[in-house]
Amino acid sequence: MAKQVNRDLILHGNLTKALLTLAIPIVANSFLQTLYNLTDTFWLGKLGEANQAAITLITPVQNIIINFGTGIVTAGSVLMSQYLGAKNDEGAKKMAAHILLCSMIFSVAVALICFAATPSIVDFMGAEDLVSRYSVIYMRIIVIDMPFLFLINVFTSVNQSQGNTLKPLLLNILGISLNMIMDPLFMVVFKWGITGAGLATLLAKVPCGVIALISLFNKKHNIHITLKKFRFKKEMLLSIVKVGLPTAIGGSTMQLGFLLMSRNVAKYGTVALAAYGIGNKINGLISLPSNGMGSATATIVGLNIGANNYERADKAYRLARNISVIFLFTGGLILSYMPISTAIVSVFSNNPEVISFAADFLMVMAICCWTNGVQNSTQGLFQGSGHTMITMIIDASRIWVFRFATLYVCETILDFGLASIWYSVVISNALSPLILWILYKMGIWKKKVIKIQN
């Protein structure tokens, strides 16, 4: 009944209430997911810079894999929401089954390949000595959790497409609670170091993945999965590829860019790499509200386009964008105050050099973080309408064109040194949403992309 109420609210009710009903649990959920890594960062900071540098080095590799697979899940959420908006619940159920099986095949295959290739990947990243050894240990543990992570993501996708964002939040509360207990236990009490960090993250996802799987097959739920007499449908697979592949390529390409950015930072030393990792994680927290609004926008847009209500989809986007920009502009002004930036990064490191570099990075990013509000909400509009090719191109351009071009100018021509990294992040994050906004004004998002199958 709650899911039907959420669907009616999204299609016919107060849009502000609909946005907040969806976005608040998404933001809380994203915050909890971020805490998985932040908890590791906090405790590893007590063990030294080599441990923190190892996680900073490996995180982009991990994210490349996750983002590619997330394209499948994102496609599922968009497609299911449009099926539901068209009141084709049976089609949504079949799509959910397709998404689950595709995700499991992908995650198991990637986990096996990456486990075997870990030493080569770490060597490519340029890690040496302790950082190299710690990176291999950590990556080999965390790739094992891929199938469980994707079970959780499919569970989130199925529920979010119906306007139910509370269940994924509750599941993540369980996961982060387990992680926060096991991190200090494994790393400090048992003295397992970075091995403990990886095991804590893995073991926290296992029960959550099992619960997600049971829930997805629960016939009491309106949208549930059944594999009895299941056959892959060519039309649905093509829809997943059409919507999901651009998201997969865009997300993984962007993360590959982040990986190469980490290599650029690594040449300034372990302290700089640790500072860069801390700054990025805190920036991720700053952006959570706009990320949540972007996801909520995608769901609302998808359902309303499925119901052929483009005017309401447009109104929801503009409302989400304005709320996000105002919130981030205000928060950014506060965080750009150096004493506040320094106090925040000090939570994650005791090293004065790391604190100084990370505080500079955070201060620069905070001033311009409001542009994320335009980026995330407009991406949500294009994703919800099925125009993931556009978001792929913008994501790739943000890193590979805008960021690296700015980095080259700042490092080579202006000789800004490490500060070049900070400026390249801010400038690329400003240009990308500007282009998205221009494309929105051109009305491209209104062109029909997805054909609902019976």
CB 69 within 8 A of CB 285: no
123 within some domain: yes
CA distances from 53 to 50, 130, 279 (A): 5, 10, 13
Q: What integer pLDDT is reported at residue 5 of this predicted model?
A: 47
Expressed as residue numbers, the domain containing 371 is 2-225+233-446
Query: CA-CA distance, 384 to 160, in Å (whole number)?
Result: 12
CA distance readout (Å), 267 to 237, 348, 400, 403? 43, 22, 19, 17
Q: Is residue 452 part of a domain?
A: no
In a domain, 207, yes or no: yes
pTM: predicted TM-score of the whole model, two decimal places: 0.76
Query: What pLDDT digit, counting tens, does each position of 377-431 carry?
Result: 999 999 888 888 898 888 888 888 998 899 899 888 998 888 888 888 889 989 9
Q: How far is CA 175 from CA 29, 106, 183, 446, in A?
A: 11, 23, 12, 39
Nearest-10 crossing angle of helices 15-45, 146-161: 160
In a domain? residue 379: yes
Residues in the chain: 454
Give the whole-angstrom CA distance, residue 436 versus residue 432. Answer: 6
Q: List, for residues 171-202, the tens digit of each pLDDT value.
A: 988 988 898 899 889 988 998 888 998 899 89
Q: Residue 113: pLDDT above 60?
A: yes
Would 453 be classed as within a structural domain? no
In a domain, 23, yes or no: yes
In a domain, 451, yes or no: no
Residue 454 in domain: no
Q: Percent of the chain having pLDDT more than 70?
A: 95
Question: How confident is the model at residue 2, as a pLDDT?
Answer: 45
Cβ neighbours for 453, distance < 8 A, ≥ 6 positions apart = 91, 233, 235, 236, 239
Distance between CA atoms of residues 360 and 378, nearest Å: 29
* Span 34-52, pLDDT tens digits: 666 666 667 777 777 788 7
Q: Distance (Å, rounded) from C-alpha 324 to C-alpha 142?
A: 33
User: Structural domain tally of the chain?
Assistant: 1
pLDDT at 382: 94
Q: How far apart are CA 341 and CA 361, in angstroms?
A: 9
Check whether 227 has a pLDDT greater than 80: yes
DSSP code of residue 337: S
When pLDDT is averaged across residues 76-85 and rounded to a whole number, the result is 84
DSSP state of 386: T
Q: How far apart are CA 158 and CA 22, in angstroms?
A: 14
End-to-end CA distance of the chain: 24
Closest CA to 55 of 270, 221, 227: 270
